[in-house]
């Protein structure tokens, strides 16, 4: 699945494919699914957007914003192989409003999670 979102008023293509977890691990040396499961403690089954504004103090240990930046970079890299390394790419934005873009990213995240079909 692929979509274009706007970050700091710049169009950014994001792509979620079966290779996303492997590309994430190759770049960041962390397991994609383990990282998502860790932050899902904060988001639960609700929308990420509202969870970012309503984080409970007890859940702060589970909220690693680097994971969100890294997942978004990996999706962008999947869509455009020419983007630079994560720090240089993030430096290209004056602002990176996670709360505004996470609703769009959440659909791609859900698409990347393995699901079993009912028989």
pLDDT tens digits for 1-13?
999 999 999 999 9
pLDDT in tens, 94-104: 999 988 898 88
Strands 2-7 and 10-15: antiparallel
Q: Is the pLDDT of residue 44 over 70?
A: no
Which of the four pLDDT bands, split at 50, 70 and 90, describes residue 118?
low
Q: pTM score, two decimals?
A: 0.81
84 vs 52, residue with greater confidence: 84
Structure confidence by residue, pLDDT tens digits, 106-115: 888 887 666 6
Structure token digits, residue 5: 């979102």
The dihedral region occupied by 44, where left means phi > 0, alpha psi between -120 and 50, and beta the remainder, is left
């Amino acid at each position: 699945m692929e979509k274009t979102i706007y970050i700091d008023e710049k169009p950014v293509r994001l792509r979620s494919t079966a290779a996303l977890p492997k590309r994430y691990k190759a770049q960041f040396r962390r397991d994609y699914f383990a990282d998502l499961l860790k932050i899902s403690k904060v988001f639960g089954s609700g929308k990420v957007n509202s969870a970012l504004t309503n984080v409970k103090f007890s859940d702060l240990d589970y909220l690693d914003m680097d994971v969100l930046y890294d997942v978004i970079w990996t999706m962008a890299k999947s869509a455009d192989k020419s983007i630079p390394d994560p720090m240089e790419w993030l430096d290209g934005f004056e602002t990176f409003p996670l709360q505004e873009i996470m609703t769009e990213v959440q659909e791609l995240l859900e698409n990347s999670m393995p699901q079993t079909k009912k028989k």
